[in-house]
Structure 1
Amino acid sequence: MTELPRRAAARTARLAALPLGYAGRQALGLGKRLGGKPAEAVMTEVQQRTAEQLFRTLGELKGGAMKFGQALSVLEAALPEEVSAPYREHLTALQDSAPPMPTSTVREQLTTHLGADWGERLVWLDGAPTAAASIGQVHRGRWLDHTDASAGERDVAVKVQYPGAGEALMSDLRQLSRVARSVAPVFPGLDIKPLVAELQARAAEELDYHLEAEAQAAYAEAFADHPDIVVPGVVSVGEEVLVTEWMDSPHSLAHVIREGTQEERDHYGELFVRFLFEGPKRTGMLHADPHPGNFRVLPAPDGGLGRLGVLDFGAVARLEDGQMPPATGRLMRIALDSDEESLVAGLRAEGFIKDRITIDPGMLMSYLAPFVEPAAQERFTFTREWMREQFERVNDPRSEEFTLAMKLNLPTSYLLIHRTWIGAIGLLSQLNASAPFREILEESLPGFAD
């Protein structure tokens, strides 16, 4: 057995063991309860041990397992506090870290995908990675642009894909799909299987660095004149290597979530929302990977609140007609105006409600609250408590909203938009950020201000 299949087999075995480990923790808890330990103490210990096992394994595996964990980390704010508290440390750590690949492997990748003369352009490369993600890692380097004699050397970020990342990613996601039901008890109320299915559908695009370079270059050009949002330009690209401008940043939004002042939370939360909605308006694409590690804090020259840097354009939605669907803003405005009949008719026309499906208009308004409520006020404050309340309400099998959700359909053209919006709500709720949401929608969301 060669090295790559051997590693893949090891990953598969460890992923398959995750639900068994969870079952073992449950058995441990039951034993302690029978021994007289309080149920609450048992559950806390079971959850803590389960979190440690699950996220340690996901963090070590790279590939689909780590991508799965990153996707879950954005939704952490929706979990009940007694469940999310033991997991939070492991989830946030997973967003910014992963084990590095050997330096020799990095150099082999550079030779294969930038050419044997890569060292003439990339004149220095830090041996240790500055960041690692699900399918690759980033090194700092210095680039000499021979096509521009006046340019000299400049600092760059060199993103190198793990060899065999495509095969490993798809293998991991297939295995995660098989064990999703068993892992689901770790996340009460979260429907894991559709999340994995969506990750599978987007995996091929994220492995294509040429597609990523195309998207990032478009964003860099579109935001070049923006005073508060920075996107690094593309320097060079190969099939599994992407070189971009370096961006000096002390930390990501994960740090602001953990330690930021309220002023910082509001400031960066507002910039994040503006980027989310201005992006489609400026580029015809939607940045569809809203986890905190992709958004960097850039210090201001005057020592005040800084700018927001944006990374990782592997997951973007290339929007039909180059804009967000106008029906999105139009239907949100109709919902804000409490025009129940027009809302049902509009959702039916867009394919959210199938023919012959009967929907109670009042219940529909209640169900859509998480999407509509932030636009009903001049400034809206996203909190974990608010998101948890909304999430529990629509995911409780005993509730009427849950029954209504089973009747709704999500058109294919809205899949990535919906996932991105849910992830964005999760990030804003983790930040506990207040933002002029309505004003931003009026400026940038087609159909909302019409």
Structure 2
Amino acid sequence: MRTGLMRWWELGRVAQASKRLRRASRPQDVEPARHELAERLLGLRGLPQKVGQVLTLSELGTDTPGFGSLAEAPSPLAPEAALEEISRRLGRPWREVFATLEGVGITASLGQVHRGVLRDGRAVAVKLRHPGIVDAVRDDLRALGWLAAPLGGWRGKLDLSAYRRELAEMLQRELDYHLEAQALRDANARLSEVPGVTSPVPVDALVREDLLVMSWVEGQPLAEARRWSDADRRALATTLVRLFLHGCFTWGVLHADPHPGNYRVSRGPDGRPVLGVLDFGCVKPIQPELPLGLGRLIALLRGPAPEADHLLSAWVTLGFAPELLEPMAEALPAISQVLLEPFLQDRPFEVRSWRLGARISEALGPHRWNFRAAGSASHLYVLRAFHGLVRHLEVLDAPLAWGPLLDEARAPSLPPPLPPPASHLEGAARYLRVRVTQGCLTRVALTFRADVTAHLEELLPDDLARRLAARGLDPAAIGAAAVASGLRPSELFHLDEGDRQVRVWLE
């Protein structure tokens, strides 16, 4: 318990360091704040370092990355202690297995990697799970639940605990190196379909739950390739896009840990670029609804101007909540066009000129809350993989046409089913609106279909429901009364608490 409390204390210090970095306005203040945050994340390992590795993507291609140590840093164990730990997990002295083994390794979030040579001459990577990391990850997940408590009471489509479960499930898988070894075997069986890519091969006799020995993959960090020729950079970019599309549409499993430390670039015997993909602990199985929904969206957008209802149906197939998307149906054509733009052009696509974040914000307008809340927690790692793909393509700066690669990956292009006919009573409200403001800032602004009012109590945080009850207000009764009256436009309730106001109404 004492160790867990200390870790929570350190997590609090990470939050403070993050706040200082966000508030740093002068260049001379930014670098020390970034260094402090990187050091605190690195010192904690586990989930904090894994979150920090995402930050390294924003620094790809820069000469002085502030978070680079989070992707590849010296291992925390002293060399003698690391070698002793490897011997213990092998069940015999390491010298009986290896001709040479480096005591200094490279650290990752959950383990550290040492280079060695087996007695038969094979160069290998020895991945050692950090001692105590299982307990640390458990504490991190508990802290995550505690830190999310102010929003954790949002149930249904707004329940942040779904994201916590998704994260916990993937972390538990990453901690078991037997599962990673199997993921490597599966990957090597599939990668023959994508030329110019390689991955480690596990040494089956030397795999343990907390130790993984696999072939060593030579190469330089992917960012080094930005100095290569146009043709070589385009070849690497093609490989990256192929890997993502085949993962989504052909194999049904995605390498979902795209931080810079997990890629290496080199040249094959013929001089052509080779992409080495490392660390298969974080692989995301793809639910069949995702490729089906994406394929339908792309097919619709490639044809004549699609109707909003057809796009809505495809987004729902993809896993988005219809009760949150329907009120913003008129914005879906613009949102879809921006998000899927690489697939809709016949010419090579310029990722650097995409301006995805700014254009999506513009297309969403007042619907940004709805769109964020409508997505499924199962999309978390898919989005992570896609974000990594885009950042690496920006660094390579080698435009290419995505459409033929999508067709090669056999993306489904089934037409969407016709949406059910809308039923709307004359004089009834169309939407249920929820807005939370604090001072002059809008904290939450969501729009649902009006019929969701029947489940009003499920939309409210637990603490808000308690405060309403203290004032004699029952959300379930309020919702039932609104339904009984025909969902007429009206205010259902409002709550003023100093500078914080909550308002819920039918419109």
TM-score by length of structure 2 reads 0.69
Q: Show the counterpart of 1:73.
A: 56
Q: Show the counterpart of 1:16.
A: 12
Conserved 8 A contact 1:219-1:283: no
Q: Does 1:313 align with 2:280?
A: yes
Conserved 8 A contact 1:367-1:401: no
Conserved 8 A contact 1:125-1:141: yes
Conserved 8 A contact 2:35-2:67: no
Deviations along 1:182-222, one digit per CA (max 9) or x if unpaired, are xxxxxxxxxx9998775444211111111111111111122
Alpha-carbon shift at residue 413 of structure 1 (Å): 4.4
Secondary structure class of the residue paired with 1:66: helix
Q: Show the counterpart of 1:147.
A: none
Q: Show the counterpart of 2:356.
A: 390
2: CA distance, partners of 1:200 / 1:396: 33
Alpha-carbon shift at residue 161 of structure 1 (Å): 0.8
Q: Does 1:97 align with 2:93?
A: no
Conserved 8 A contact 1:12-1:175: yes
Alpha-carbon shift at residue 393 of structure 1 (Å): 4.1
2: CA distance, partners of 1:360 / 1:398: 9
**Residues 1:306 and 1:203: Cα distance change in structure 2 (over 3 Å):** same
Q: Does 1:165 align with 2:165?
A: no
2: CA distance, partners of 1:446 / 1:97: 39
Conserved 8 A contact 1:26-1:46: no
| Aligned mate of 2:203, from 223, 229, 235 | 235
Q: Show the counterpart of 1:447.
A: 412
Alpha-carbon shift at residue 238 of structure 1 (Å): 0.2
Q: Which is strand-richer, 1 or 2?
A: 2
Which residues of 2 match residues 142-291 of structure 1 at below 5 A?
A: 142-144=117-119, 152-175=120-143, 199-224=167-192, 227-236=195-204, 237-249=207-219, 251-256=220-225, 259=227, 262-279=230-247, 283-291=251-259
Q: Does 1:107 align with 2:83?
A: yes
1: CA distance, partners of 2:410 / 2:64: 33
Q: Does 1:329 align with 2:295?
A: yes
The Cα RMSD (Å) is: 3.7
Alpha-carbon shift at residue 274 of structure 1 (Å): 1.2
Conserved 8 A contact 1:228-1:271: yes
2: CA distance, partners of 1:439 / 1:221: 23
Alpha-carbon shift at residue 441 of structure 1 (Å): 0.7
1: CA distance, partners of 2:361 / 2:57: 17
Moved more, 153-162 or 10-19: 10-19
Moved more, 418-427 or 203-212: 418-427
2: CA distance, partners of 1:356 / 1:226: 38
Secondary structure class of the residue paired with 1:312: coil
**Residues 1:60 and 1:109: Cα distance change in structure 2 (over 3 Å):** same
Q: Show the counterpart of 1:116.
A: 92
Alpha-carbon shift at residue 99 of structure 1 (Å): 3.8
**Residues 1:17 and 1:397: Cα distance change in structure 2 (over 3 Å):** farther
Alpha-carbon shift at residue 110 of structure 1 (Å): 2.5
Secondary structure class of the residue paired with 1:446: coil
One-letter amino acid matched to 1:239: E
2: CA distance, partners of 1:356 / 1:100: 46
Alpha-carbon shift at residue 22 of structure 1 (Å): 5.5
One-letter amino acid matched to 1:310: V
Conserved 8 A contact 1:76-1:426: no
1: CA distance, partners of 2:64 / 2:365: 28
Q: Show the counterpart of 2:436.
A: none
| Aligned mate of 1:59, from 18, 24, 42 | 42
**Residues 1:349 and 1:138: Cα distance change in structure 2 (over 3 Å):** closer
Deviations along 1:349-405, one digit per CA (max 9) or x if unpaired, are 44413248524444112223443101122311211x53xx32134457992352552
Alpha-carbon shift at residue 320 of structure 1 (Å): 4.3
- Identity level (%): 28
**Residues 1:350 and 1:220: Cα distance change in structure 2 (over 3 Å):** closer
Q: Show the counterpart of 1:47.
A: 30
Q: Show the counterpart of 1:429.
A: 394
1: CA distance, partners of 2:84 / 2:123: 21
Conserved 8 A contact 2:249-2:291: no
Q: Show the counterpart of 2:484.
A: none
Q: Which is helix-richer, 1 or 2?
A: 1
One-letter amino acid matched to 1:169: V
Q: Show the counterpart of 1:377.
A: 345
2: CA distance, partners of 1:396 / 1:201: 34
The structure that has the greater radius of gyration is: 2
Deviations along 1:295-354, one digit per CA (max 9) or x if unpaired, are 11022334x442111111011112346x96333222222133331332112223444132
Conserved 8 A contact 2:184-2:202: yes
User: Structure 2, unaligned stretches of length 5 or more?
Assistant: 150-159, 416-507
Q: Show the counterpart of 2:263.
A: 295
**Residues 1:438 and 1:91: Cα distance change in structure 2 (over 3 Å):** farther
Q: Does 1:141 align with 2:116?
A: yes
Secondary structure class of the residue paired with 2:65: helix
Alpha-carbon shift at residue 98 of structure 1 (Å): 4.6
**Residues 1:205 and 1:88: Cα distance change in structure 2 (over 3 Å):** farther
Alpha-carbon shift at residue 449 of structure 1 (Å): 8.7
Structure with greater contact order relative to length (CA < 8 Å, sep ≥ 6):
1
2: CA distance, partners of 1:404 / 1:265: 38
Alpha-carbon shift at residue 112 of structure 1 (Å): 3.8
Alpha-carbon shift at residue 445 of structure 1 (Å): 4.3
Alpha-carbon shift at residue 67 of structure 1 (Å): 0.4
2: CA distance, partners of 1:113 / 1:93: 27
Alpha-carbon shift at residue 436 of structure 1 (Å): 2.3
Moved more, 229-238 or 338-347: 338-347
Moved more, 214-223 or 273-282: 273-282
TM-score by length of structure 1 reads 0.76
2: CA distance, partners of 1:26 / 1:309: 34
Alpha-carbon shift at residue 44 of structure 1 (Å): 3.0
Conserved 8 A contact 1:254-1:293: no
2: CA distance, partners of 1:260 / 1:59: 31
Moved more, 117-126 or 285-294: 117-126
Conserved 8 A contact 2:292-2:317: no
